[in-house]
Structure 1
Amino acid sequence: MARFDLSDEEWAAIRPHLPKQGRGPQRKDDRTVLNGIFYVLRTGSPWRDLPERYGPRTTVYNRYVRWGERGIWQGIFDVLATECEDALIFIDSSIVKAHRAAAGSKGGSWRKVLDAHAAVAAARFTSP
């Protein structure tokens, strides 16, 4: 088990809240993909530098984005936050990184930062 991988206890808490397998091909192991997502989020490394043990980076990235669009992440966070008093402390302080403008650097108002984040989130990096 790698440093950023889910423990058995963490996996047991998250697994029941994941979406069920739909029609189509069998999807890659959810635990492996989640470990890959958490690796990128915790280390701040680019998706292209994802270690091979987590599977294809496109699979990991696509699962992260699609589950975000479908509200899966929000649902998981909401459930975990209600089940554990310390969950909000973990989510709020351990994995959130602030942009340097958030610290009040020159020209860094919150509105500009939020607008920049919204513009990046709306950008498409692949051809439709």
Structure 2
Amino acid sequence: MARDLISDEEWAFFERFMLAVRAPNGRKPTNHRLVLDGIFWIARTGAPWRDLPEEFGKWSSVYRQFRRWTLAGLWEEIMDALNHCGAVTDALQMIDGTVIRAHHQAAGAKGGLRDRVLAVLVVASRPRSTSVSMQRVCP
């Protein structure tokens, strides 16, 4: 079995949220604890969904359940409950790497790559020899 699975105490907190979200087709729920462990494994490792170990079940099933819970607003409810019960200290903060942007000056030299490519094309497209008409005009 995978390491760092959620404890019984942690599961008792999450279970009420998982059972509140009902399957739209009326099917019997899957092992939500194992699915939650798989979701936390993905979040902890940053691995792609397809690399989820088989012990958590099929990756597509775990992802599908994660997506259902996301669309149902489950994660917001869990975060609100954690904030209200004081389980998470104020000093704990998360940084989402998807919102960190580089400064526009970090893109390279002034004018960027496009201007440098155009300059190279201008130099490369210069005539390599002078035409007969050009020789008559020039002394």
1:49–1:104 CA distance, 2 compared to 1 (3 A) = same
1:72–1:54 CA distance, 2 compared to 1 (3 A) = same
Q: Percent same amino acid among aligned pairs?
A: 35
Give 1:42's aligned residue: 44
Deviation by residue 1:31-62 (Cα, 9 ceiling, x = unmatched)? 00000011011100010010011111111101
User: By how many angstroms is 1:73 displaced?
Assistant: 1.1
Give 1:98's aligned residue: 97
Coordinate RMSD, CA, aligned: 2.4
Q: TM-score, normalised by structure 2?
A: 0.62
Whether the 8 Å CA contact 1:11–1:31 is kept in 2: the answer is yes
Give 1:3's aligned residue: 3
Give 1:125's aligned residue: none
Q: Map 1:99-114; keep pairs closer than 5 Å.
A: 99=98, 102=100, 104=102, 106-107=106-107
Name the larger-Rg structure. Answer: 2
| SS at structure 1 position matched to 2:2 | coil
Listed as ranges, the gaps of 5+ residues in structure 1 are 108-128
1:16–1:89 CA distance, 2 compared to 1 (3 A) = farther
User: By how many angstroms is 1:104 displaced?
Assistant: 3.0
Whether the 8 Å CA contact 2:5–2:37 is kept in 1: the answer is yes
Give 1:110's aligned residue: none
Give 2:53's aligned residue: 51
- Paired residue total: 103
Listed as ranges, the gaps of 5+ residues in structure 2 are 108-139
Q: TM-score, normalised by structure 1?
A: 0.67
- Alignment pair present for 1:79 and 2:81: yes
User: By how many angstroms is 1:88 displaced?
Assistant: 5.6
